[in-house]
Amino acid sequence: MAFALLNRLTAKPGQRDRVVEILLESGRMFGDNSACQLYLVAESEDDPNLIWVVDLWTGEQEHAEALKTPELRPFIEQTMPLLEGMPEQIKIRPVGGKLPN
Amino acid sequence: MAFALLNRLTAKPGQRDRVVEILLESGRMFGDNSACQLYLVAESEDDPNLIWVVDLWTGEQEHAEALKTPELRPFIEQTMPLLEGMPEQIKIRPVGGKLPN
């Protein structure tokens, strides 16, 4: 069953651009993974430190496997010190709509 | 510039399935609109009344025009009495990632 996450990340003041760069760079490894149907990195329009990442996967298991990739670890290690606290993850269950092929 | 919304809707108790049906039905009119790149209807995994709709558009203007379609009005009128309060809209500015074509 399809699986999606709304990830809410708060960058430390002045660090949002750098966090966004890292998120875009790390997301490139999902480019060839057909289990990843969407990986949208977006900035809040209201809060200068807030970042949203929306990702859509063919299933929760596929997502969990993608996160185990050792190549991801340096990106996570670079990002965490630039954030205020832990990213907030909102798990949602897609039911339909106009979706990527 | 691309434009996206995270819409957070709280259905009255017992009404989520019906609201989701209406959202899916109304969303069909975006199917042929190339300005709409994503329209994802999803249910919260934690809260039995919560619905998230993520939509991605080629621009804010295109989104505003799509909302003016008179055919949309009956869907909005059906949905509003089934919700607790107004939908919350979080405007976000996409910066990249793996996105629909």
Do the Cβ atoms of B6 and A54 come within 8 Å? yes
Cα distance between residue A61 and residue A96, in whole Å:
19
Out of B36, B42, B45, closest to residue A98 by CB: B36
pTM to 2 decimal places: 0.94
Write down the ipTM of this complex: 0.92
Question: Does domain A3-92 correspond to CATH entry 3.30.70.100?
Answer: yes
Give how far Cα A51 sits from Cα of A45, A64, B3, B48, B90, Å.
9, 22, 14, 26, 12
Do the Cβ atoms of A24 and B95 come within 8 Å? yes
Summarised one tens digit per residue, pLDDT across range B36-62 is 999 999 999 999 999 999 999 999 999
Q: Which residue of B has its CA nearest to A51?
A: B92
Read off the tokens for B15. 């009404």
For residue B40, which residues of chain A lie inside 8 Å, CB to CB?
A: 4, 38, 54, 56, 94, 97-99
Shortest Cα distance from B6 to chain A (angstroms)? Answer: 9
Cα distance between residue B91 and residue B72, in whole Å:
20
Summarised one tens digit per residue, pLDDT across range B58-97 is 999 999 999 999 999 999 999 999 999 999 999 999 999 9
Cα distance between residue B3 and residue B56, in whole Å:
6
Cα distance between residue B47 and residue B65, in whole Å:
32
Interface test with B, best of A3, A33, A54, A93 (most B CBs within 10 A): A54
What is chain A's length?
101
Q: Chain A contact for B24, CB < 8 A?
A: yes
Residue ranges per structural domain of chain A: 3-92
- The DSSP annotation for B7-39 comes to EEEEBPTT-HHHHHHHHHHHHGGGTT-TTEEEE
Cα distance between residue B74 and residue B59, in whole Å:
25
